[in-house]
Structures are given as structure tokens and as C-alpha cells.
Amino acid sequence: MDISLIEHFTSQWKFVRSMTNDLLESVTNEDLHKSPDESLGPWWKQFRHMGRVQENYLQAVESGTVQFGFEGASYNGGASKIELQKYLINLDNRLAAIIKNTDVSLKINWFGENKSLGQHLMYLADHEVLHHGQWIIYRRQLGGVFPPSWSAWDL
């Protein structure tokens, strides 16, 4: 069962992350500093957040316990599209290695409840999709065109 869930995750992640990468590519360096509201982080921090949370998920696989926060976060490239792109690519390479080398029967402690590796990874994909919804608002408020891949969200 979990092998099929991990296979589903791998397919879903490729789809979702490619859309994230396409959107990052479409945002200008100037736009990376923009936010639709002073209470919301600018574009570059949105993409950094995707990476930081992915790092939290990867650390959970390694440690067996999920912990969300900034500890262990590795990004220090600021509002640089190139650095953000490299960061996400490196994390995806690390994710692929973890999937390849981790026993599918691994359980991860989610605040006292054990989740399978497949469930854990699907939560990562779900988190990214959640932000896609937020980014639709960002793009609409700040202007700009969605990349063609975003037609999957009927845009």
C-alpha cells in the first residue's frame, strides 16, 4: 500500500513542483521584492518558505519526528531567483535520494501520531498546493501572467 502511495506522491510532486518552478521562473527579480500586503511576505520569501518546509519534511524522515521551524534551514541567498531555483533543485535531489534509500515501512511521529512515509510525503505535496492557491491571489493583486502550466488550475 505505502509503495503505491509513494509512487503517487512522486507523480504528484513532479506535477506540483514543476508548477512552482514555472511560477518562480516567471516572476521578475524586481517582483521578488513585492507583496500584495505588508502583512504578507514578498514573493522571494514565499519560495524560500517552500524550501524551508521541504527541509522540515526531509529532516522528519531522517529523525523520525516532524518538527516545523527554522532550525536546520539552509537557504541564505536572499531575493535571488537563481539562488532560489538552485535551493529548490538541491532539495528535490535530496528528496529523490531519501525516497530511493528509505524503507517504505518507516513511520514518522506527527505530534504523537505515527504517519506512514507515504502519508508524510503527501502532506508535503498538499502544503505546496495550498500555497499555489495563495499565489493565485498574489499574482492577481500584483499583476503578471501565469505560466502556461498553471492552466491546470484553470488560469
Q: What is the pLDDT of residues 17-29, one digit of tens each?
A: 999 999 999 999 9
Structural contact between residues 139 and 146, judged by C-beta atoms closer than 8 angstroms: yes
Q: Measuring CA to CA, which residue among 104, 133, 101 is closest to residue 119?
A: 104
What is the rounded average pLDDT of the residues 100-119?
95
Mean pLDDT over 58-74 rounds to 94
CA distance 150 to 19: 7
pLDDT at 155: 85
pLDDT at 90 over 90: yes
| Average pLDDT value over all residues in the chain | 95
Torsion of CA 36, 37, 42, 46, to 10 degrees: -80
Examine the pLDDT at 5 and tell me if it is beyond 70: yes
HSE on the CB side for 6, CA within 13 Å?
18
Domains and CATH numbers, the chain: 2-149 (1.20.120.450)
Chain-centroid distance, C-alpha 63: 19
CA 78 to CA 144: how far, in whole Å?
22
CB 132 within 8 A of CB 12: no
End-to-end CA distance of the chain: 34
Whether the pLDDT of residue 53 is over 80: the answer is: yes
Measure Cα distances from 107 to 4, 112, 116, 128 in Å.
Answer: 16, 11, 5, 22
